[in-house]
């Protein structure tokens, strides 16, 4: 039985896949990868995998809230 990260009963994951971060922020996956690779989003490398730190992403979103305009 393969367990998915969202099946974790310990609460939300500390690190998100870029696809998960995109879904949470309502952005396209391609744009999310662009933000992650450029350093705009707080990321961690786990081997070859790129992960987004959940709490730092939430802080990034809070810092980049504008009056309805484009983030960042």
pTM over 0.75? The answer is no
pLDDT at residue 12 tops 90? no
Residue closest to 15 by CA, chosen among 47, 45, 48: 45
Question: Structure tokens of 16?
Answer: 């998100």
Other Cβ atoms closer than 10 A to 14: 11
**pLDDT tops 80 at residue 4:** no
Which residues on neighbouring strands pair with residue 69, listed in sequence order? none
């Amino acid at each position: 039985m393969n367990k998915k990260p969202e099946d974790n009963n310990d609460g939300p994951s500390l690190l998100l896949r870029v696809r998960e971060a995109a879904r949470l922020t309502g952005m396209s996956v391609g744009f999310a990868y662009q933000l992650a690779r450029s350093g705009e989003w707080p990321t961690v490398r786990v081997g070859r995998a790129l992960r987004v730190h959940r709490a730092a992403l939430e802080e990034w979103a809070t810092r980049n809230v504008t009056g309805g305009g484009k983030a960042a």
